[in-house]
Copies of this chain bind each other. A is one copy, B any other.
Amino acid sequence: MENFTFYAPTYFVFGKDTETEAGTYVKRFGGTKVLLHYGGGSVIRTGLLQRVRDSLAAAGIDSVELGGVRPNPRSGLVYEGIALCKEEGIDFILAVGGGSVIDSAKAIAAGGAYDGDFWDFYTGKVVEKALPVGTVLTISAAGSEGSPDSVITKEEGMFKRGATGEALRPWFSILNPALTQTLPAYQTACGVTDILAHLYERYLTNTKDVEVTDRMIEALMLAMIQAGPKAVRDSTDYESRANIMWAGMMAHNNSCGVGRTQDWTSHDIEHELSALYDCAHGAGLAVTMPAVFTYNMQHDVMRFAQIAVRVWGCEMNFAHPEETAKAGIEALRSFLISIGMPKNLLELGGAEADIEKMAHSACCGNGRDGSIGGFVKLTQKDVENIYRLMV
């Protein structure tokens, strides 16, 4: 195991009706003037936004609102939010929504405490200072409610890139599984896929002797494989929603990723898809993961065989472990299709003609050095080949 530090000081408030405590927690963590940040549609329609407003008012918290965050959140609204924070003297940002809203809030938080261009943090600069962020989560997927990460798309060039820094961990996150019961099956499935991807990206490591984190990752995957299809079939199933919500947070707060190299190839390759086609990140990952894993399998057949046996219930083929490894990838593919995810680039709304451009952007765009990959180092040519496996 490699040396590491781990610090995850987010205060989680989990369960039914907990969104009514938002104001109490903002106050507890020192907020006096809040930027209330959200998307649109559903948080208004379901009355959630109003409940949060009421809770802030009851706690005597002053607030300014900025709605309109869209999936695959854009830099334009972030710049607007940063300006608003500076003008209004905002001292706390409350995100009400899913990963897109939270990531947008984190970007505003970083920019609000910085004199330069916030995009610096999305080209490699670590976030060391940010306004405090709290969240009321409405989609189990991104894990942003407990992570130090944020992903934003810059409109000039359509680069979808990530920033990180301990200052980006939310100070508190309110997780009410009931808030996710209004999600359509497709979005639920996208969330399940994103959570599985966060687990795979940590599982695919070159570090030896990491049994404890291997087992934790497998555990969270098994829980998702059990609860995911139930929530997709019956959106009102509170218990499945609750299991998914805690698994989604644990999958990405990095307690199961410490002390080991990680991968993030599937994310990097997918980001080009959602930047270009504006598809859901989870749907993009569903198409990307089997292709990446098939391409990389020979790098460590036994690791793919291990996950096949332990997570997907495949029989170990001791004479031909690569058959087991392949069976595990096929089991993942079948699972994703069974919950309604697309199976190829076409179903995602993509086109073969864009492959070269996407491979170039993934490997060379926005200052990248020509290759990606933590598990296997991949050149632009490799990435092109992977996109071709998705056709």
Contact = CB atoms under 8 A, between A and B. Distances in A.
B220 A246 contact: no
Contacts of A247: 212
Contact of A11 (B3, B7, B10, B209): B7
Interface in A234-274: 239-240, 242-244, 246-247, 250, 255, 258-259
B239 A208 contact: yes
Given A2-B15, A7-B11, A219-B215, A258 B246 contact: yes
A218 interface: yes
Contacts of A218: 219
A258 B9 CA distance: 16
B219 A223 contact: no
Contact of A226 (B3, B15, B211, B244): B211
A207 to B, nearest CB: 10
A180 to B, nearest CB: 13
Interface string A197-239: 0000000000011111111101110110011000000000001
| Max chain B C-beta neighbours (<10 A), residue from A12, A14, A246 | A246
Contacts of A5: 11-14
A240 B212 CA distance: 10
A18 interface: yes
B227 A220 contact: no
Contacts of A239: 1, 208-209
Nearest to A253: B255
A8 interface: yes
Contacts of A1: 14-15, 177, 239, 242-243, 246
Nearest to A237: B209
A214 B219 CA distance: 9
A318 interface: no
17 contacts: A1-B239, A1-B246, A3-B14, A4-B15, A6-B11, A7-B11, A14-B259, A209-B239, A209-B242, A212-B220, A212-B243, A212-B246, A213-B246, A215-B219, A215-B220, A216-B223, A246-B258
Interface of A: 1-16, 18, 177, 208-216, 218-220, 222-223, 226-227, 239-240, 242-244, 246-247, 250, 255, 258-259
Given A5-B14, A216-B219, 16 more contacts: A1-B243, A3-B15, A3-B16, A3-B18, A5-B13, A6-B11, A7-B9, A8-B8, A15-B259, A208-B239, A209-B239, A209-B240, A211-B226, A212-B243, A215-B220, A242-B259
